[in-house]
Amino acid sequence: MASHKTFSVAFFSIVFIFFTENGIAQARYVQSGDSYLAVSGTSTLNAWTMNSEEGKYQADFEVSENGLPIKLLSLSVTVPCESLKSGHSAMDKNAYSALGAHLHKSITFILVSSTTSPDKIECTGNLTVAGKTQLITLEAGLRPLGQKAFLVTGKKQLKMTDFGIEPPSFMFGTVTTGNEVTVSFNVKLIPAKG
């Protein structure tokens, strides 16, 4: 028993020394106020976009000594459905109804796995919309901004029907939206305080 404990202590000491000497650490990041997510699509009338600046983004990275991300370890995104705004109240109301926002308050993404390179991240995770979860993969650009902050940008095409959503219609059904939407994001991540 004593030898097992000695081995465990020695093993974790070696791991600690390796990561310390190589300048690798784990750090938590959150979004700054300069971040947004947009959902855009088409309709029989015109193109449309709904924007949200109220999402919550939290990520854990392995980072180098100078604060550059080496590997994305965890990521959670939560966007309140009713924070998405098009600038047209009637359209917003129809969108919230289609999303079942009275029951499913938020759109969420939880990371399952990732591959990180100096200028991009490939993420696979569970996206939940209108109470239905789908495993998706997306690619995001990664750009250092200085002071250990960086910008994450990207977009992903999705189909409403994959999440059990019937494309909304309005004006008594004379205007209908297309099934395909594009989700785009521009998120500035900064080190979490504390």
Q: Where do the H-state alpha helices sit in the chain? A: 2-21, 89-99
Chain centroid offset of residue 109 CA: 6
**Domain with 48 in it:** 24-191
In this prediction, residue 78 carries a pLDDT of 98
CATH number of the domain bearing residue 89: 2.40.128.110
CA 83, CA 32: separation in Å to the nearest integer?
Answer: 17
Q: How many domains is the chain built from?
A: 1
C-alpha triplet 74, 80, 86: angle, nearest 5°: 125
Residue type, 95: A
Whether 59 maps to a domain, the answer reads yes
Whether 1 maps to a domain, the answer reads no
Low-confidence ranges of the chain (pLDDT < 70): 1-23, 171-174, 194
Residues 6+ apart with CB under 8 A from 176: 43, 44, 167, 168, 169
Is residue 122 within 8 A of residue 139, CB to CB? The reply is yes
Residues 6+ apart with CB under 8 A from 22: none
Whether 3 maps to a domain, the answer reads no
In this prediction, residue 90 carries a pLDDT of 87
Whether 58 maps to a domain, the answer reads yes
In this prediction, residue 146 carries a pLDDT of 86
Whether 148 maps to a domain, the answer reads yes
